[in-house]
Structure 1
Amino acid sequence: MALIFNHGKNEEDKVAKAKQTPMMKQYQAVKDQYPDAFLFYRLGDFYELFNEDAIKGAQILELTLTTRNHSAANPIPMCGVPHRAVDNYIDILIDKGYKVAICEQMEDPKQAKGMVKRAVTRLVTPGTKMDLKGDDAQSNNYLTAVLPQAPGFKLAYADLTTGELKVTSLATEAAVINELINLQTKEVVYDQELPASLTTVLTKQNLLLSHQTPQTGQAEISYLTQALTDDGEIAVVTLLVSYLLTTQKRALAHLQVAQAYELNAYMKIDHNSKANLELMINMRSGKKQGTLAWLLDATKTAMGSRLLKRWLDRPLIDQAKIEERQDKVAVLLDHYFERSNLQAELTKVYDLERLAGRVAYGSVNGRDLVQLKTSLQQVPKIKYVLETLAAPVFDQLTAGLDPLSDIAALIDQAVVEDAPVAITEGGLIKPGYNQQLDTYRDAMENGKQWIAELQEKERAATGINNLKIGYNHVFGYYIEVTKANIAKLPADRYERKQTLVNAERFATPELKAKEAIILEAQEKSTSLEYDLFVAVRDQVKAQISRLQALAANLAELDVLQSFAVVSEDYHFVRPTLNQRHELKISGGRHPVVEKFLGHQAYVPNDVVMDPQTAILLITGPNMSGKSTYMRQLALIAVMAQIGCFVPADAADLPIFDQIFTRIGAADDLVSGESTFMVEMMEANNALQNATPNSLILFDEIGRGTATYDGMALAQAIIEYVHDHVHAKTLFSTHYHELTQLDQRLAQLKNVHVGASEENGELVFLHRVEPGPADKSYGVHVAKLAGLPASLLARADVILGQLEKGTAAAAPTPTTPPVAPSSAPQLVEEASGQLELFGPAPAPAAKPADKKAGQVLAQLKELDLMGLTPMEVMNQVYQWQRKLK
């Protein structure tokens, strides 16, 4: 039935197309080439959408849906947007994940013979968006290509706005997914079919998948792949660049020669760990505020802000490179006034990376070139400040600050300071830059003066004081006279041009002759200005590589001064790095939490792990700061390895090759995975991939299942890390029984977050001290949460009974007792704890009577031992209500 239906529909389409007007045939021919994109079809001053594009576009863009040929049997749905405002509408569609094909008029309608020629000049997609505004301007917009190649994958990515082009090899699907999420790529290009499992994940991540056939043999692609030696990497870069050339339909001179990188050359942090640590995105708000990137970003340029994020995404593991960055930060930190001067000059530097991109792309306007000139004029001042530092560590960077004086001078000579946005309407080029242009302008200016003089002359000759000479695009220059004064006009010289309600418009032979001169000068002037502007743009375009090199150096300087500023403002210190596998932080602080609390309110803590210590087992009550303590170590490690100073009184750190975290509880609803499954998967990732040089943070592993299961898993994980992985590990838990492990695991030490009771109230000390916590204070935390007093009192009673291994005080249940053989087993499990921590104690006495059996049966029914304290209190409350 489907085949028959489709066949009928196709026949209907053929008939409908046969009846199309020439314009709609042209539209349909273009649309057929871009079936998966909204086609913005240029008609005069509007871009129009037709048919399904119009119906869907009107809904998304909130446009009025009308029809074309509305009198026909099948009117065509249509809607449109003004050409001057089209960018805003395109942005809306792109941000929602759609593609937009822009179809332009390729000839002047006035000179066209028959149908105006039209063609798509650009396909805009989420990964090829050029105009980024607001917060997006401080982030990269990556387009990625993925190519399966046994035994793994090749991956390349580019930012069309900056020209960045990178490529790497990845071993597994998981590595591909991790890299795509870390890059926050918007679109994935493929040629060969991707594995179904990978496609499923990418679709769930709302990534646009775009197919492309590689173009081979092009000089541009050969140039961009010249530094690559791996055939697979050349192939994936070819695929990516082919897509860019196909969609953008122009040369892309700003694309940089592809650089290969290896993930092993940087500290690896998987996307889950980055989310847990809130390096870039706040887990609660989904925004930058409250993240490490937000805290460290005191940059003055958009390109500096982007580079900071790239450094955070890939911390260094090369000690020499880390210490070189630290040396530069130290110099800037010690030179306050020079640093202030650098900041003042950097504030005047615009986004050179993206200005260079727009120049190469051909979308740069006069204001952009003025911004470029202004930026270049700051470079000699910045270079002078660095030279006054007399710091050899800055010599290479200083030498790389090419002021491009020739380009700055060219723009200064050619382009007016208050240049308009439009580049086809004149007003761009300075007087004196081009003699012919000055001649045209003189003719125009003299013509306007002549018009003013003619107006006065005609008023005197006719005696009509309100006679005026005006101009419009349709009728040109005219003499306007009110109808009451028409009789005063000499009939032999005045030729009627237009009739208005209260006036008539005329021309004279003298006015017509001057009009021709003025309009010719105006038209030629506008055309010449455009040509001169394009010539200037092309001269700038020839220096793209110099511009990009300058931008890279300025961005690095901007990030370094940002590190110096935040280090001074928040009392950070320079960490030392060691190869001894030793970790010693004195007075360490969580930088983001401290910013919110204030320096005086935050309680600092030490983290000490000698070479023989692999695991710190952390106990203490909820809300006491265990997770903060763990996160602050990871953030200090990341900050140290990007070259920044760290929030501590002193810090001596090993260089970590990877960081793994399992902090917090969250279901992965998209993948249908529970909190506990996510927890186990993240734990497994760390156990499978960590090395002795890694850092692992495990927070409350095992809490998502029954008590004994969780406790068994927690102990087994600790033992596995201790015996096989040997990574520096912080492991927080509420299973106090685990604290006994220090007696037989030589590389494990107990620490706890202090708390005390004052007049029955719990007081958090937020200080980490040696040894295990004495208890968990779960009921006290519940009290802070405001639970009913009677419930809390009952929970205290139950807690005491559970700690003694009995439930004798529980009310007599109404449920039938369990079989006699089950009751002793329950008591044995409760007291022996499944022999998790050594030989089990002697079995408890068997129940002596029916009442004890009923109590045990009720206890087993509730399974209190498998619940959290909060769940215990909920069960107790329900139990009491049932009995009443």
Structure 2
Amino acid sequence: LDDTRTPMGGRLLRQWLVQPLRERDALNARLDRVDAFFHDTATRERVRALLKQIGDVERLTTRIQQNIASPREVRTLGASLEIIPALNEALTQSLTPTPSPSGRGEQDFPPSPFGRGVGGEVLDAVPEVSALIAKAIVPDPPTNLANGGVIAPDYSAELDSITHASRNAKDWVAALEKTERERSGIKSLKVGYNRVFGYYIEVTTPNLPQVPSEYIRKQTLTNAERFITPELKEYEALILNAEERLVELETTLFRALCGEIAQYGERLMKTAQQLAELDVYSALAEVAIRQRYVRPELAPESVIEIRGGRHPVVELRLKDEPFVPNDVTLTADELVHVITGPNMSGKSTFLRQVALIVLMAQIGSFVPAEFARLGIVDRIFTRIGAEDAISAGQSTFMVEMVETANILHHCTPRSLVVLDEIGRGTSTYDGIAIARAIIEFMHNHPHARAKTLFATHYHELTELETYLPCVKNYNVAVVEQGDHVVFLHKIVRGGADKSYGIHVAQLAGVPQPVVNRAQEILKELEQGDWSREKNAEPIQLRLFSPDDDLRQEIAALDVMSLSPIEALNKLFELQKRAKSK
């Protein structure tokens, strides 16, 4: 979303994202302003081009108030303020209808797309400050105040007088060099300066016999000697004192200037806020046009209706294929969607995109969809991904349960809850039990009943639709083509009957012998072991005596504590030992 042109705009956009609004009127006011730029290409392009020339007015003002700004930063502030009249002209020429003010403390941008104002001015250019800076600071000042050359001519009579004296003294030194060359006949003689020894007359070694007697030796070099004269010493003091006084006076004048600018701090900060908002509105409009976003309709009731929704980040990263859009409708009658489907089919992407579309709408942005009608949500809760908290001694499953508990305690009927694969970190039965209990809680508890998207690999949960009227099953469509599976990434009604995990393992690069063996085991489980489950006990009675060690080991197993893979491995181990008897 961040196509802002100023640092202030980028910071404000981030602030909006982490602090979305819950007031419908305030959001519509923001959307009106984005809409104005969306439909006025000429104004949008002109405004964005001008904003690109503006510095960080907010930070520059703060640094001036704290008395830590450099001369170049002060000049940047002045140059930025000088751009504002052109911005005002671009905005006042716009013919876009005026929306209502936001009521959220955002600055009004008069006239047309930005509300009411005084005197027809859209932005306060604080002309007093820009004029003051232009008068006081040279056009291209040094970064370091100690380098001098910061204050413009005619700003201070005292500074001009000292500058003139310093320059005359330097001219005198140049004239001295010419005079001494002529008097001594030493053409290579030069007058120089360094911070250690001050001013000096340098004569190369071959010319030392021609040195006048009044020269006083000051320093010996490899190929030359340096001298001083009483006259040069006197002017050295004059020049150094003048330069020192120049820097001192420039520093005093610059600090006084910053103090004067700081008195306009409140107006400057208001202007910075106006510029930031202008930047965000025009940037959101630019992104909406480029990415084919639409203005969401903000509904008074609690509803999420999205047609042709897309993930704003994933669709930008797809280079070779188009993003597959999906629809979703969550209402009081269709409260919980249980979404099943293969791994890698796009369940998690779908969950994230719905949450992101709602978030984007509630900062005042257009959204990636063909149509969106959204009620205001009070919170967006997500439990997506797997991570642990080792430093806190929490496993992946513990972290998952802590986050889920927070959701269950704090969600409301106006919340959006996004849950991805809850219960996968524990045994199958425990996971199914927890997942089912969560769905029932969301459906039945009067203080919960949040609009919920629940992605799961537990196909058993699809049975909930038969006796929970507000639970609906959805799955991600696939097409089987021989031994291959094509993921369509399309959310459709109904539950999935397969997870296609072995196919995903093959796509991930698992060695083919492992894939082949997994297919054999799956076939045995589906057609063999599970179908013989009812006959297992009489077969075991014929094979094992009551004292058989295998029977005792099986009886001692804690089945509920085993994960599915542990149970499978144990089963094959016992089968192998039984066949060897």
The question of a shared fold, defined as TM-score above 0.5 by the shorter chain, is answered with: yes
Distance 2:561 2:490 in 1: 30
Of 16, 23, 29 in structure 2, the residue corresponding to residue 318 of structure 1 is 23
1:140-172 CA distance string (max 9 Å, x none): xxxxxxxxxxxxxxxxxxxxxxxxxxxxxxxxx
AA partner of residue 773 (structure 1):
A
Aligned counterpart, 2:380: 659
Distance 1:660 1:685 in 2: 9
* 464 and 796 in structure 1: CA distance in 2 versus 1, 3 angstrom threshold: closer
Distance 2:181 2:140 in 1: 37
2:337 maps to 1:649 = no
Aligned counterpart, 1:692: 413
AA partner of residue 387 (structure 1):
T
Distance 1:779 1:379 in 2: 62
- Please state whether the residue corresponding to 1:424 is helix, strand or coil: helix
* 865 and 517 in structure 1: CA distance in 2 versus 1, 3 angstrom threshold: closer
Distance 1:483 1:794 in 2: 93
Of 538, 556, 578 in structure 2, the residue corresponding to residue 847 of structure 1 is 538
Report the alpha carbon displacement of residue 805 of structure 1 after superposing the two structures with TM: 8.5
- Structure 1 segment 222-241 matched on structure 2, within 5 A: none
Aligned counterpart, 1:760: 483
2:389 maps to 1:672 = no
2:87 maps to 1:363 = no
Higher relative contact order (CA 8 A, sep 6+): 2
Q: Contact (CA 8 Å) 2:219, 2:225: kept in 1 or not?
A: yes
Distance 1:682 1:384 in 2: 52
- TM-score scaled by structure 1? 0.59
- Please state whether the residue corresponding to 2:322 is helix, strand or coil: coil
Of 465, 488, 498 in structure 2, the residue corresponding to residue 775 of structure 1 is 498
Report the alpha carbon displacement of residue 379 of structure 1 after superposing the two structures with TM: 1.1
Aligned counterpart, 1:718: 439
- Please state whether the residue corresponding to 1:397 is helix, strand or coil: coil
Distance 1:859 1:346 in 2: 76
Q: Contact (CA 8 Å) 2:46, 2:90: kept in 1 or not?
A: yes
- Please state whether the residue corresponding to 2:400 is helix, strand or coil: helix
Aligned counterpart, 1:199: none
2:5 maps to 1:300 = yes
Of 742, 759, 764 in structure 1, the residue corresponding to residue 465 of structure 2 is 742
Structure with the greater alpha carbon radius of gyration:
2
* 529 and 773 in structure 1: CA distance in 2 versus 1, 3 angstrom threshold: same
Structure 2: tracts of 5 or more residues without a match: 102-106, 111-116, 545-549
Distance 1:541 1:717 in 2: 57
* 462 and 850 in structure 1: CA distance in 2 versus 1, 3 angstrom threshold: same
AA partner of residue 705 (structure 1):
T
1:670-723 CA distance string (max 9 Å, x none): 211111111111111111100000011111111111111111111111111100
Q: Contact (CA 8 Å) 2:6, 2:55: kept in 1 or not?
A: yes
Count of residues in Structure 1 that have an aligned counterpart in Structure 2: 555
Q: Contact (CA 8 Å) 1:660, 1:695: kept in 2 or not?
A: yes
* 453 and 614 in structure 1: CA distance in 2 versus 1, 3 angstrom threshold: same
Give aligned-pair identity as a percent: 45
2:185 maps to 1:463 = yes
AA partner of residue 199 (structure 2):
Y
* 863 and 473 in structure 1: CA distance in 2 versus 1, 3 angstrom threshold: same
Report the alpha carbon displacement of residue 524 of structure 1 after superposing the two structures with TM: 1.9
* 343 and 872 in structure 1: CA distance in 2 versus 1, 3 angstrom threshold: farther
Distance 2:481 2:205 in 1: 99
1:513-546 CA distance string (max 9 Å, x none): 3333333322222221111111211111111111
Report the alpha carbon displacement of residue 860 of structure 1 after superposing the two structures with TM: 9.1
Aligned counterpart, 2:138: 416
Distance 1:486 1:360 in 2: 58
Distance 1:359 1:702 in 2: 55
AA partner of residue 7 (structure 2):
A
Aligned counterpart, 1:516: 237
Q: Contact (CA 8 Å) 1:795, 1:873: kept in 2 or not?
A: no
Aligned counterpart, 1:438: 160
Aligned counterpart, 2:313: 592
Report the alpha carbon displacement of residue 497 of structure 1 after superposing the two structures with TM: 3.1
AA partner of residue 460 (structure 2):
E
1:619-668 CA distance string (max 9 Å, x none): 11111111111111000000000000001100111111011111111111
* 589 and 862 in structure 1: CA distance in 2 versus 1, 3 angstrom threshold: farther
Aligned counterpart, 2:113: none
Of 94, 108, 117 in structure 2, the residue corresponding to residue 396 of structure 1 is 108
Aligned counterpart, 2:89: 384
* 802 and 629 in structure 1: CA distance in 2 versus 1, 3 angstrom threshold: same
Q: Contact (CA 8 Å) 2:71, 2:145: kept in 1 or not?
A: yes
AA partner of residue 574 (structure 1):
R
Distance 2:343 2:349 in 1: 11
Q: Contact (CA 8 Å) 2:420, 2:455: kept in 1 or not?
A: yes
Distance 1:848 1:683 in 2: 44
- Please state whether the residue corresponding to 2:391 is helix, strand or coil: coil
1:430-462 CA distance string (max 9 Å, x none): 222222222222222222222222222222122
Of residues 561-570 and 449-458 in structure 1, the stretch that sits farther from structure 2 once superposed is 449-458
Of residues 799-808 and 394-403 in structure 1, the stretch that sits farther from structure 2 once superposed is 799-808
Of residues 564-573 and 511-520 in structure 1, the stretch that sits farther from structure 2 once superposed is 511-520
Of 584, 596, 608 in structure 1, the residue corresponding to residue 329 of structure 2 is 608
Report the alpha carbon displacement of residue 510 of structure 1 after superposing the two structures with TM: 3.0
Distance 1:704 1:780 in 2: 22
Aligned counterpart, 1:38: none
Report the alpha carbon displacement of residue 550 of structure 1 after superposing the two structures with TM: 0.8
